[in-house]
Amino acid sequence: METFANLADGFAIALTWQNLLLALLGCFLGTVMGALPGLGPSNGVAILIPLAFTLGLGATPSLILLTSVYYGAMYGGRISSILLNIPGDEPAMMTCLDGYPMAQKGMAGQALSLSGIASFVGAFFATWGLIFLAPQLVKIALLFGPAEYFALFALAFMTLGGVSSTNQAKSAFAAALGLGLATVGVDTQTGVPRFTFGEVHLYDGLDFLVAIVGLFALSEVFIFLENRHGNSDAKKSKLVIGRLTTPLSMLKTCTPTMLRTSVLGFLAGVLPGAGASLGSFISYSMEKRLVDKEGTFGTGDPRGVAAPEAGNNAAAGGALVPMLALGVPGSGTTAVLLAVLLSLNITPGPLLFANNPDVVWGLIAALFIANLMLLAMNIPMVSLFTRLLLIPPRILMPIVAMVSFVGIYGISGSSFDLLVMIGFGVMGWVLRKLDVPLVPIILGTLLGNAMENNLRRAITIDNGNWFTLIDSPLAIGLWVVAIIGFVLPLIFGRKVRAGMHQRRDEESSITD
């Protein structure tokens, strides 16, 4: 019952005019960013963080704005998948498989409203899952000492590569690069400068917001410049939407699918390193195996639209569980959300639930509200969003670049940070070309300091004994899972990834 009392408090926080307005704005921006090919949820949230930060929003309002963007992007991705056969963001890839054939049969409106409902169902159940699972995870996390935390961070890095890259060595490289970048600056424990090479600007360390915006948003601009991909893809095809209501019979056949995939997607989201792309992928494959008796999947089966959409929205909610309860994000976008928390001086993890219950429960209440808003926004207003698909990148991309600059300049007011951001943008472009995943880099810069501090604390407590890292059963368990998570994809991963990546194009290579 305590949960419901907390939730009621959360609603009291979320239901202010300012927060409702922020949620509405976030939902709208999120749907737009999800729908436009080239701007995924991680990009969208990354661009908006500095703004939320410089506008002086408090912790809860900023989080409400940005998680609404996150949920909104998960809804928006389906629009261009269905209408143009181009996924708006990576998790929406699987929606193309049946959504576009449905649109070709003249059922675009039905596919859009059905996928809107499926998204709602997925996100709704995942938010309940978050409410019940996160406090349980917090109870486990309270048993964690520094050694266990170090093992947990290692686990996050080692499992992250399994799905986000086709090459484990490259994701290990990315993680190490991120951790290395985090060590730049004055050492927090002894106060000696490290890797600053006498540059005063670096004493504070590299601001992870600068790294995130550069790696995600600017590298996207470079990709577009390289391909000179300035015209909207929407021009080539006619956008006929048709009837916007889903027949009840269609809803009825899809209900079991939506319920099953919500559960599956949520579980996929909770797993470290998986995220929404995996959620939609395994939801679609499971449903195909389970209900596709006549072989209609892939030819415009409504269940093939409902499954990945419920799955990816549920995974989006699931990915918030480890981020809030343990401080270890499960996906790219939740890593970016972690950056928001850290820059607001809030440390996620078990103490967050004890010290800042208003943030946690306000956020959860806001997720329910945002989800309702998104449902209301995405069915009747879907034609507005389809019209936004007509904005060509040659207008959109300069705006993205300039808003990124404004956000970073707004925080620090220094040209040096802008140059560092450009440097990260170039690095992101080269690394994306080489198929090195960017999410482990971000995670490394975010978690590097915490990881090092836990390592040093654990060993200092045990008088310099390094074996303390594998001393408790809990730590050993975490290490075992970490090693399995790293080795397993080497053996089985090729098949799963081949399935996931066969539809992926160059422009959407950032994992959710």
Q: How far is the CB of 39 from other proteins (least distance, A)?
A: 15
Closest listed residue to residue 389, CA positions, set 239, 496, 284, 505: 239
Q: How far is the CB of 14 from other proteins (least distance, A)?
A: 22
Q: How far is the CB of 60 from other proteins (least distance, A)?
A: 19
Cα–chain center distance at 301: 27
Q: How far is the CB of 488 from other proteins (least distance, A)?
A: 17
Nearer to other proteins, 170 or 260 (CB): 170
Nearer to other proteins, 170 or 303 (CB): 170
DSSP helix/strand/coil, 242:
coil
Question: What distance in Å separates the CA atoms of residue 76 and residue 70, rounded to the nearest whole number?
Answer: 10
Cα distances (angstroms) measured from residue 141 to each of 6, 36, 325, 511: 20, 38, 8, 27
Nearer to other proteins, 68 or 449 (CB): 449
Residue 462 has what DSSP assignment? T
Nearer to other proteins, 196 or 296 (CB): 196
Q: How far is the CB of 505 from other proteins (least distance, A)?
A: 12
Question: What distance in Å separates the CA atoms of residue 36 and residue 43, rounded to the nearest whole number?
Answer: 11
Q: How far is the CB of 221 from other proteins (least distance, A)?
A: 7
**What type of residue is 274?**
A
Three-state SS for 351-389 is HHHHHCHHHHHHHHHHHHHHHHHHHHHHCCCHHHHHHHC
What kind and span of H or E run contains 125? helix 108-141
Q: How far is the CB of 13 from other proteins (least distance, A)?
A: 23
Nearer to other proteins, 7 or 177 (CB): 177
Interhelix angle 93-104/275-291, rounded to 10 degrees, is: 50
Question: What distance in Å separates the CA atoms of residue 464 and residue 481, rounded to the nearest whole number?
Answer: 25
Judged by the rule CB under 8 A, the positions of this chain that interact with other proteins are 51, 54-55, 166-167, 169-170, 172-173, 175-177, 179-180, 183, 187, 189-192, 194-195, 218, 221-222, 224-231, 393-395, 397-399, 401-403, 405-406, 409-410, 413, 415, 418-419, 422, 425-426, 429, 433-435, 451-452, 455-456, 459-460, 463-464
Q: Which residues contact 85 (CB under 8 A, 6 or more apart)?
A: 96, 100
Question: What distance in Å separates the CA atoms of residue 112 and residue 119, rounded to the nearest whole number?
Answer: 10
Question: What distance in Å separates the CA atoms of residue 227 and residue 60, rounded to the nearest whole number?
Answer: 40
Spatial contact of 369 and 14, defined as CB atoms under 8 Å apart:
yes
Nearer to other proteins, 132 or 416 (CB): 416
Nearer to other proteins, 44 or 269 (CB): 44
Q: How far is the CB of 423 from other proteins (least distance, A)?
A: 9
Nearer to other proteins, 333 or 468 (CB): 468
